[in-house]
Structure 1
Amino acid sequence: MNLLSKLLLVWMLGSLIGCASMSKEECLNANWKSIGYEDGSVGRPEMTIQAHRKACAKINVVPDLNLYQQGHKEGVRSYCKKTTAYQLGVKGGAYYQVCPPDLEPAFLQAYRVGQELFAITQQMDQVEQAISGYESSIDHLLDQKAEQQQSIVNAGSSSKERRVYLNEIDRIEDEIRRYEHDIRDAEHELDHLAQDYAKLQAEHQRMGY
């Protein structure tokens, strides 16, 4: 893992742990083995206990680290499955390196297979955003065209001024046609990506995902 990946992982862990919290009642009635199991079973790292420790310190409750770790180890074994890894990859979810050595290779393989579909999804999102941008530009140009048309019919405009307005309308229509061409190209690209997604998904199903 390179330095950038390590820094990104640390940032993600910090964000995840920062979101975890326990209420006063939960701290007072905590079953730390069960809490560890719950955190592990959803892929939270063991250091999530830091957030629990911080929350419970307000009422002088100290988490039982040993019980938490016992539960967490059991929890991650229920989490570190091929189906979980694949769906995590498909959704673009983060993996916090919680799986034990005997389960991690298979987990990572399934996770990366799922990420193949996520990569196509990201490309489709980008194309859809581009289409939305083109459509917004066309709407803006149509407003400009309407303004020029209104200027033509306004009383008092000279023939020279009307020619200027007509030339501007021609320019606007040319630009609209270019955007319409871009939209058609993008829609074709989107169709190809959708086909690629379906083919890859079918291949993954044949692989048992």
Structure 2
Amino acid sequence: MPTTPESDYDTVTSEGLLSLLRNDSKNIVILDCRSSNEFSESHIRDAVNFSIPSIMLRRLAAGKIDLASTIKSRELKTKICSTYKENLFVIYNDLSAAQHYQNDSVLNVLYRRLAQDGCHVVCLEGGFSSFRTAYPEWCNGCCCGSDGGTGGDQASDGPPSMGGDALPLMGLRSLRISHVPLTPTATGYRHPLALAADSSTDSSDADDRCDSSLG
């Protein structure tokens, strides 16, 4: 499949992106071109997942729809539309170099469309993996850095982050379901709780018999 030469793309290094995020993040729009599942597992802080059906991707490439029509977030749509050509768009994926620049890849289509619209757009060198390895604390849902430590946005004893607005189910974090072995008896196998209940009943009956004999 034909590919687009890498030299045709403006890029930013992981270090350069970190500097931008620290100094001028309000004018940066980060678009994650990976799948929604990969995005949910981990992504660069404040990034937005750009994962759309292939038919919409083809329409975007052909100029039949604009970028804003593919975005569900009203806040992001407003930001893009109001300062479309003033923002710096940083886009990334996690594909190999050959796949990265295929004409029909999400990243390539998005880059070409933004560039055609006169926007300032750059690709992240090395993709998400490179940035996560260098700066795990700047990635949501990233539980391990390059040294095996815990990322800044992930508690060591908490559930994995799902990214976006996803929240864990309340009240279920401490729930544990374990297998309780059955206890063999003369009449078969019984659950320990059932045996305890029978034992309690037998004890009560014995007490009643003692009371009646004393009476």
Same structural fold, with TM-score higher than 0.5 when normalized by the shorter chain: no
Which is helix-richer, 1 or 2? 1
Select the structure with the greater relative contact order (CA < 8 A; seq sep ≥ 6): 2
Which is strand-richer, 1 or 2? 2
- Give the TM-score band, short-chain normalised: under 0.3
Per the normalisation by structure 2, the TM-score is 0.27
